């Protein structure tokens, strides 16, 4: 039996190795210090040179490495692959299900693990490196599968190999690289690429790209690795598959890093990563469960490699605890130090005022004329300005008028210094926008008293702004409460999914949008098999937990744009916008296989359940969304009638 590779291995050209000179890379390769696969994987690589791979010969080569067999079987049995029963041996159908690209890449990856569990770089924590790589691979597989970027096995590989450049640097330069990472925060510090280039003439992304191309990984994977550490590459918005892979890879690396944090640092980082996930259209309400799934898979991989796994709090519990933590306002001192700007053209007076105000505990900026003062207000944002009137260029009155004309100047408290105290001059001073004045020469006690008056006004203005902000928040909360009440009316209270009322109200709108844009639309009707037996034998409490867990599985395999509804009892509906029938069947099979291969734990019981699913795609014959749902429901009935634990598509 022979099978054609989906993607023939790609050999790099000199142009493609432009980031790292070909001669330089060849020298590094000849040195024998670069990470490289050995043993059975070299034979697999030789076999993969051919477009037609003889599967029996490939299986025979893989069977010489029992450890590799175990790791490939774990990949084959993961929820991302469509298997009705666990694989127990490498057979042609197992290899075909995984895909030969994934087989080759997973074998390559774990051959590197076996060869490089230890090394000469004392400051490089090899176990931590591989544990983080496994976390990144697992996160990439789950995130990328949800967004349908590539086959799951290949996503896992690119996640694991995304940091291969750091391992290569530690292998090539154990002493120098060890000193570099020890003094700059480890191998994942953001400044490392610049420092590596300055010291070695290339950096870890150069090495990673050259290695991945040399090992024959697809160009889009190599490009994604090269891009994923760039904080601003997404602003280009090119929308290529490599760019979308890189965005997903960057998020996967951030999720992996969460596994090694604790306390406030973990909470702060989690909130940042969740916002990044939301920008990638991953529903924030599903994100904690997805992270928990990453941790579960990561623990299993660590156990296979005998790597200690740190204790990690459930992200679902972290999210719940964070949402319940009250936010208390910080207490403020009754009298606080002010940020003051002194504007005085006479140097001696300016220095005297600066010193006096600093002795009173205030932070002081100084300016020699009105224009300099105006620029400082825009840049430093002081709270109070003390300005002379008679100055060259922009004088005190002109400065006040300019300040009151801009938002940054309207909140300032302004005190004028003057030797004039007749009514006409004072009237002009106050009409220009000044709040107070002090006559020269300046008595320190009077200055201190006027500053206290200014402090009270500034604090009152702040209190007023805080009250206004509280009022605004209160109005927002009222609006949110109203929105929550509306959501409660269209949300299933047990699972948190949309209910039948929501489906019947909003699905016609989704139907009309798909019809207008001529986009495909698919529907899945799902029913948990023999669920009544669970309620009858174990009680409704157990049944409720099972429904909640099943809802979590549905969220893992659906995009943010997909609509998941609990239609009633143990019956669920999923609407998949912009999705063809073939893709909808794949989604349904993944859901079915996940439930069939996993025990559902509830109240100390481990229950094995299955689900039947009917799938339908919008057709010209369907008059409305109700017709689409009816077609999916009829397919579900067919799945039930022909034995359950099946996916049936409407004809």
Do 92 and 171 lie in a common domain?
Answer: no
- What's residue 9's pLDDT? 36
Q: Which residues contact 42 (CB under 8 A, 6 or more apart)?
A: none
Do 603 and 622 lie in a common domain?
Answer: yes
As a whole number, the mean pLDDT across the chain is 80
Report the range of poorest mean pLDDT among 93-107, 140-154, 298-312, 367-381: 93-107
Q: Which residues contact 539 (CB under 8 A, 6 or more apart)?
A: none
3-class DSSP assignment, residue 435: coil
Q: Which residues contact 327 (CB under 8 A, 6 or more apart)?
A: none
Closest CA to 414 of 429, 431, 430, 435: 435
Half-sphere exposure of 631 (CA within 13 A, CB side): 22
Q: Is the pLDDT of residue 498 over 50?
A: yes
Residues annotated as catalytic (active site), given as ranges: 570
- By percentage, how much of the chain surpasses pLDDT 90? 21
Q: Is the pLDDT of residue 369 over 80?
A: yes
Q: Is the pLDDT of residue 326 over 60?
A: no
Q: Which residue has the higher pLDDT, 234 or 146?
A: 146
- What's residue 632's pLDDT? 95
CB atoms within 10 A of CB 571: 16
Tally of helices (H runs) and strands (E runs) in the chain: 28, 15
> pLDDT, tens digit, for every residue of 547-596?
999 998 998 888 888 999 998 889 999 999 999 999 999 999 999 999 99
Do 273 and 127 lie in a common domain?
Answer: yes
CATH number, residue 360:
3.40.50.2300
> pLDDT, tens digit, for every residue of 601-641?
888 888 899 999 999 999 999 999 999 999 999 999 999 99
Do 305 and 391 lie in a common domain?
Answer: no
Q: How many domains does the chain have?
A: 4
| Residue 614: exposure state from Cβ atoms within 10 A (0-12, 13-18, ≥19) | buried
* Interatomic CA distance for residues 83 and 76, integer angstroms: 8
Do 138 and 55 lie in a common domain?
Answer: no
Evaluate whether residue 301 is within a structural domain. Answer: yes
Domain enclosing residue 508, as ranges:
500-649
Last residue of a domain, one of 73, 88, 116: 116
Average pLDDT rounded to a whole number, residues 304-323: 78
CB atoms within 10 A of CB 393: 12
Six-digit token pair at 628? Answer: 């689409």
Do 414 and 539 lie in a common domain?
Answer: no
CATH number, residue 297:
1.10.3210.10
Report the range of poorest mean pLDDT among 116-120, 227-231, 352-356: 227-231
CB environment 102-134: b (16+ within 10 A), e (fewer)? bbbbbbbbbbbbbebeebebebbebeebbbbbb
Place of tokens 């004045």: 437
Annotate 55-80 with DSSP letters as a single string: HHHHHHHHTT-HHHHHHHHHHHTSTT
Average pLDDT rounded to a whole number, residues 477-505: 74
């Amino acid at each position: 039996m022979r099978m054609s590779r989906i993607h023939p291995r790609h050999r790099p050209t000199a142009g493609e190795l432009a980031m790292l000179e070909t001669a330089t890379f060849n020298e590094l390769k000849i040195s024998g210090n670069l990470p490289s696969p050995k043993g059975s994987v070299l034979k697999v690589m030789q076999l993969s040179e051919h477009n037609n791979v003889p599967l029996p010969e490939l299986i025979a080569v893989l069977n010489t490495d029992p450890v590799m067999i175990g790791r490939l079987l774990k990949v084959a049995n993961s929820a991302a692959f469509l298997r009705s029963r666990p694989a127990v041996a490498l057979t042609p159908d197992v290899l075909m299900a995984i895909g030969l690209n994934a087989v080759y890449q997973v074998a390559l990856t774990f051959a590197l693990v076996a060869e490089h569990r230890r090394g000469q770089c004392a400051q490089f924590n090899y176990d931590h490196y591989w544990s983080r790589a496994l976390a990144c691979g697992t996160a990439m597989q789950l995130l990328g599968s949800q967004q349908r970027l590539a086959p799951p096995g290949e996503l896992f590989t690119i996640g694991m190999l995304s940091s291969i450049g750091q391992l290569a640097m530690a292998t090539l330069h154990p002493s120098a690289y060890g000193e570099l990472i020890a003094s700059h925060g480890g191998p994942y510090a953001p400044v490392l690429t610049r420092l590596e280039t300055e010291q070695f003439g290339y950096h870890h992304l150069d090495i990673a790209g050259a290695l991945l191309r040399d090992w024959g990984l697809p160009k889009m994977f190599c490009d994604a690795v090269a891009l994923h550490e760039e904080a601003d590459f997404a602003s280009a918005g090119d929308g290529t598959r490599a760019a979308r892979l890189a965005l997903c890879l960057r998020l996967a690396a951030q999720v992996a890093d969460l596994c090694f944090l604790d306390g406030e640092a973990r909470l702060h980082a989690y909130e940042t990563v969740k916002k990044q996930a939301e920008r990638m259209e991953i529903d924030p309400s599903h994100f904690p469960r997805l992270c928990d799934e990453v941790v579960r898979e990561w623990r299993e991989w660590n156990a296979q490699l005998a790597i200690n796994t740190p204790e990690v709090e459930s992200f679902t519990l972290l999210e719940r605890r964070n949402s319940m933590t009250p936010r208390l306002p910080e207490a403020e001192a009754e009298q606080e130090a002010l940020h003051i700007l002194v504007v005085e053209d006479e140097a001696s007076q300016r220095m005297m005022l600066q010193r006096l105000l600093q002795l009173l505990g205030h932070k002081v900026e100084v300016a020699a004329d009105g224009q300099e003062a105006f620029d400082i207000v825009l840049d430093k944002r002081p709270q109070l300005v003390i300005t002379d009137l008679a100055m060259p260029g922009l004088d005190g009155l002109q400065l006040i008028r300019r300040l009151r004309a801009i938002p940054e100047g309207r909140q300032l408290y302004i005190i004028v210094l003057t030797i004039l105290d007749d009514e006409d001059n004072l009237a002009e001073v106050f009409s220009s926008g000044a709040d107070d004045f002090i006559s020269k020469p300046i008595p320190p006690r009077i200055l201190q008293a006027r500053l206290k008056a200014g402090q009270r006004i500034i604090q009152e203005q702040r209190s007023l702004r805080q009250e206004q902000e509280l009022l605004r928040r209160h109005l927002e909360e009222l609006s949110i409460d109203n929105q929550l009440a509306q959501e409660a009316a269209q949300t299933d209270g047990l699972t948190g999914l949309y209910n039948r009322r929501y489906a019947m109200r909003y699905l016609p709108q989704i139907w009309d949008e798909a019809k207008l844009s001529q986009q495909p639309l698919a529907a899945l009707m799902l029913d948990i098999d023999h669920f009544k037996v669970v309620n009858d034998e174990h009680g409704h409490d157990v049944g409720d937990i099972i429904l909640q867990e099943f809802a979590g599985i549905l969220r893992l395999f659906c995009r943010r744009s997909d609509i998941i509804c609990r239609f009633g009892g143990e019956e669920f509906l999923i609407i998949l916008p912009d999705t063809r029938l073939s893709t909808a069947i794949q989604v349904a099979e993944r859901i079915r296989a996940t439930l069939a291969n996993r025990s559902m734990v509830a109240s100390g019981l481990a229950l094995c359940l299955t689900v039947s699913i009917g799938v339908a795609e919008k057709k010209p014959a369907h008059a409305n969304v109700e017709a689409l749902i009816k077609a999916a429901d009829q397919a579900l009935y067919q799945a039930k009638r022909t034995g359950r634990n099946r996916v049936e598509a409407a004809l």
